[in-house]
Chain A
Amino acid sequence: MEISPDNLICWSYGPVTLNATIVFTWLVMGIMTLCSWLVTRNLSTEVCIPPWQNFLESIVEGIHRQLREILGYEIRGLYSFLTTLFLFIAVSNLLGAVPGFQSPTGSLSTTIALAVCVLLATPLYGIARVGFFPYFLNYMRPTPIMLPFNIMGELSRTMALAVRLFGNVMSGSMISAVLLIVIPLIFPVLLQLLGLLTGMIQAYIFTVLAAIYIRAGMEVEQKRKTF
């Protein structure tokens, strides 16, 4: 029983090895790119739009509405970043129900990479909005003694973000694998259903928390939100 798809080697030639995480990450990226290319190839602004365009539009519009409630104002690049995070995590969690597919979010390296993106995006958007010095003065709040604690808080919440997603996805696949040994009849299917729900909720929570962190970095005058 493997605890993460990092240990499954799909292909290796000399020092170059491709593990299951990389393969399935590229598979998810390929599926998403292909689907959106196929759908956006012939967009229309008629009254009657194609059903798949309707589908994608409703997804993007729904995510943007949620983000607008959290962030408050429209920032184009940030919306694309957060929507991409949501769609990647959601698609790879949902495909985890397909037999033989190892969810790339069930590997700690993928989730840490995603969380590091959020960690880097927070100061970038904060500096872009409020300027260099006001942003870093934020770390000296309320007193300069709090500087190491603020930095530690930043790092630990990034780790919490990564471990939460990894733990949820890994636990889903692990529990169904354990149940397959113990009661192989119907219960694994029920837990797979539960896993679909958990996967969607975790994608939502990852995105919402990233949005909240970035928003907290963009607010300087008010008190920092400590999540």
Chain B
Amino acid sequence: MDTLGWVAVSSIVTAGLCIMIGGICPAIGEARALVQALSSIAQQPDETSAITRTLFVGMAMVESTAIYCFVVAMILIFANPFWNYFLSKIEG
């Protein structure tokens, strides 16, 4: 297989791995946060608004790691700089 083929294969495999690991781990973390928040709301219903606000902010922080993985996967598939580099080398 030539260089371009290796770049394509490694990009696709890495993008899949990236979104797989980056999807599983934040999901576990967010689920744990949600479980804790729900049990806290069940114990103290008066504090619902404060708990919900903190939960949203915290979930956004956790979710941002998943978003980073997604952005990296999108870059690997749709805007891969190495692909364009090796393509221009082969053409020119």
Measured CB to CB, the residues of A under 8 A from B are 1, 3, 66, 69-70, 160, 163-164, 166-168, 170-171, 174, 201-202, 204-205, 208-209, 212, 227
Interface of A is mostly: helix
Complex CA gap A202/B57 in Å reads 10
**A227-B53 in contact (CB<8A):** no
* Complex interface residues of chain B between 30 and 77 (CB less than 8 A to chain A): 49-50, 53, 56-57, 60-61, 63-64, 67-68, 70-71, 74-75
A168, A171, A174, A209: the one within 8 Å of B57 (CB): A209
**A163-B60 in contact (CB<8A):** no
Complex CA gap A11/B70 in Å reads 31
Complex CA gap A69/B61 in Å reads 20
A212, chain B: closest CB distance, angstroms = 7
Q: Contacts A1-B78, A3-B79, A164-B64 hold; do A201 and B70 have CB atoms under 8 A apart? A: no
User: What are the residues of chain A within 8 A of B68 when measuring CB–CB?
Assistant: 163, 167
B16, chain A: closest CB distance, angstroms = 15
- List 12 A-B residue pairs with CB atoms under 8 Å apart, sorted by A's residue number: A3-B74, A3-B75, A66-B53, A70-B53, A163-B64, A166-B71, A167-B68, A201-B56, A201-B60, A205-B60, A209-B60, A227-B57
On chain B, the number of residues with a Cβ less than 8 Å from chain A's Cβ atoms is: 17
User: What are the residues of chain B within 8 A of A171 when measuring CB–CB?
Assistant: 67, 70, 74
Complex CA gap A201/B79 in Å reads 28
**A164-B60 in contact (CB<8A):** yes
User: What are the residues of chain A within 8 A of B74 when measuring CB–CB?
Assistant: 3, 170-171, 174
User: What are the residues of chain B within 8 A of A170 when measuring CB–CB?
Assistant: 71, 74
Q: Contacts A1-B78, A69-B53 hold; do A167 and B71 have CB atoms under 8 A apart? A: yes
**A167-B67 in contact (CB<8A):** yes
User: What are the residues of chain B within 8 A of A174 when measuring CB–CB?
Assistant: 74
Q: Contacts A1-B78, A3-B74, A3-B79 hold; do A208 and B64 have CB atoms under 8 A apart? A: no
